């Protein structure tokens, strides 16, 4: 654990230094932030709030499958508490806090939580792949690397679809990646038997992907001097969401920014504006997370200690 903490500090420090050096060499980029209006800031915060709210609805739908009825303060509050925990601790510590709450408040086993969480990720990436295919296929403005992007998204969808159709699939091996995939497939096997639930989860996931795209569009258009293509920005938002696969730094700080910066450059938007847009979204995210996170943490902790003994 001590070695992991040391590597965490090193990784976070490297990301901070690299971004600081880049911004120091491109000082004109900081001036873009002066273009952010109060209306844009409020819109960004609203989009991020709705993003977490739909994550809460997804959590409520999954919990109902196990005969667990979450109150509004639970399904709405847990996503903000989770996000706050992920910023405070590395390796998705907020997700562990969510799992602990569900275990002690609703007797939901850790193993089942992990399997269902993995299944929800499979659904997320499948829907993201579908939306990527749709975005690339739309006959809009010229898109850089269109065929390469189409092959990538089709590959993701076909791989996940094939895994979903194979009954009780088990990947041989005992490393962390294999165990995580097998746990996800176990959760998927349970969820796919309920078609109405599966449709609801897909729709909630679609809503979060669209809201993430709207947040990116607001950030990019605010920081740019001209009109940017929505399709390219939407694809950048999809790529940035894949950063949840690499959970090393608190809040994935540096990783999300790196993916957004690189994908912005590859899609012809520009690395500089990509980095600034990512940092703007990061700053806007902190507002609802660190305002509502502590409030819901207090409410849920009081309810937990009043109903269960640790």
Q: What is the pLDDT of residue 57?
A: 97
Measured CA to CA, the distance from residue 10 to residue 4 in angstroms comes to 10
Q: What is the pLDDT of residue 240?
A: 92
Dig out the tokens for 40 from the structure: 């844009």
Q: What is the pLDDT of residue 310?
A: 42
Q: 234 versus 253: which is more confidently predicted?
A: 234
Characterise 47 by phi-psi region: left (phi > 0), alpha (psi -120 to 50), beta (else): alpha
Per DSSP, the residues of 169-216 read ------SHHHHHHHHHHHHHHHHTT-HHHHHHHHHHHHHHHHHHHHHH
2 pLDDT above the threshold of 70? no
pLDDT tens column, 261-300: 999 998 888 888 898 899 999 989 999 999 999 999 999 9
33 pLDDT above the threshold of 80? no
Q: What is the pLDDT of residue 167?
A: 64
Query: How does residue 309 score in pLDDT terms, banded at 50, 70 and 90?
Result: very low
Q: 229 versus 208: which is more confidently predicted?
A: 208
Q: What is the pLDDT of residue 176?
A: 62
210 pLDDT above the threshold of 90? yes
Q: What percent of the chain has pLDDT over 90?
A: 41
Q: Are 218 and 40 in contact (CB under 8 A)?
A: yes
149 pLDDT above the threshold of 60? yes
Q: Are 217 and 233 in contact (CB under 8 A)?
A: yes
Measured CA to CA, the distance from residue 181 to residue 157 in angstroms comes to 16
Query: How does residue 146 score in pLDDT terms, banded at 50, 70 and 90?
Result: confident
Output the CA torsion sign for 108, 297, 238, 14.
negative
Provide the residue ranges of all domains of the chain, joining segments of one domain with +.
2-21+67-307
CA atoms within 13 A on the CB side of 200: 17
pLDDT tens column, 83-130: 999 888 766 778 888 989 998 999 888 878 878 888 888 899 999 999
38 pLDDT above the threshold of 80? yes
Dig out the tokens for 73 from the structure: 């303060």
Q: Are 121 and 243 in contact (CB under 8 A)?
A: no
CA atoms within 13 A on the CB side of 231: 18
Q: 255 versus 4: which is more confidently predicted?
A: 255
pLDDT tens column, 211-247: 999 999 999 998 887 678 888 999 999 999 888 877 7
Dig out the tokens for 166 from the structure: 């194979």
43 pLDDT above the threshold of 90? yes
Q: What is the pLDDT of residue 157?
A: 93
Collapsed DSSP state (helix, strand, coil) of residue 267: coil
pTM of the entire predicted model = 0.85
307 pLDDT above the threshold of 60? no
Q: What is the pLDDT of residue 227?
A: 77
Dig out the tokens for 258 from the structure: 């790196």
Mean pLDDT value of segment 178-191: 69
Mean pLDDT value of segment 10-18: 63
Q: What is the pLDDT of residue 6?
A: 62
Dig out the tokens for 70 from the structure: 């979450």
Query: How does residue 81 score in pLDDT terms, banded at 50, 70 and 90?
Result: very high
Identify which of 172, 70, 178 has the alpha carbon closest to the alpha carbon of residue 118: 178
Mean pLDDT value of segment 59-66: 92
Q: How far is CA 224 from CA 59, 213, 270, 278, 285, in A?
A: 36, 16, 10, 13, 20
Dig out the tokens for 80 from the structure: 């903000």
Q: Mean pLDDT in the chain?
A: 83
């Amino acid at each position: 654990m001590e070695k992991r903490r040391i590597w965490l500090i090193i990784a976070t420090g490297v990301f901070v230094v690299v971004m600081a050096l880049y911004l120091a060499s491109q000082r004109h980029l900081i001036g873009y932030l002066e273009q952010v209006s109060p209306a844009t800031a409020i819109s960004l915060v609203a989009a991020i709030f709705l993003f977490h709210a739909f994550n809460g609805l997804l959590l409520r739908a999954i919990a109902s499958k196990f005969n667990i009825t979450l109150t509004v303060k639970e399904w709405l509050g847990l996503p903000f508490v989770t996000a706050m925990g992920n910023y405070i601790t590395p390796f998705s510590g907020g997700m562990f806090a969510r799992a602990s709450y569900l275990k002690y408040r609703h007797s939901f086993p850790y193993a089942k939580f992990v399997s269902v969480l993995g299944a929800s990720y499979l659904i997320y990436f499948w829907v993201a792949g579908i939306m990527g295919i749709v975005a690339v296929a739309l006959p809009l403005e010229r898109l850089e690397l269109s065929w390469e992007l189409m092959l990538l998204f089709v590959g993701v969808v076909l791989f996940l679809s094939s895994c979903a159709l194979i009954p009780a699939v088990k990947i041989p091996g005992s490393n962390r990646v294999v165990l995580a995939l097998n746990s996800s497939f176990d959760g998927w096997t349970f969820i796919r038997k309920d078609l109405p639930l599966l449709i609801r989860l897909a729709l909630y996931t679609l809503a979060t992907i669209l809201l993430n795209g709207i947040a990116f569009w607001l950030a990019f258009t605010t920081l740019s001097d001209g009109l940017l293509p929505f399709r390219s920005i939407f694809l950048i938002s999809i790529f940035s969401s894949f950063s949840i696969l690499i959970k090393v730094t608190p809040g994935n700080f540096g990783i999300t920014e790196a993916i957004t910066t690189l994908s912005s450059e590859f899609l012809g938007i520009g690395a500089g504006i990509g980095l600034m847009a990512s940092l703007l979204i990061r700053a806007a995210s902190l507002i609802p997370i660190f305002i509502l996170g502590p409030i819901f943490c207090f409410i849920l902790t009081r309810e937990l200690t009043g109903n269960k003994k640790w």
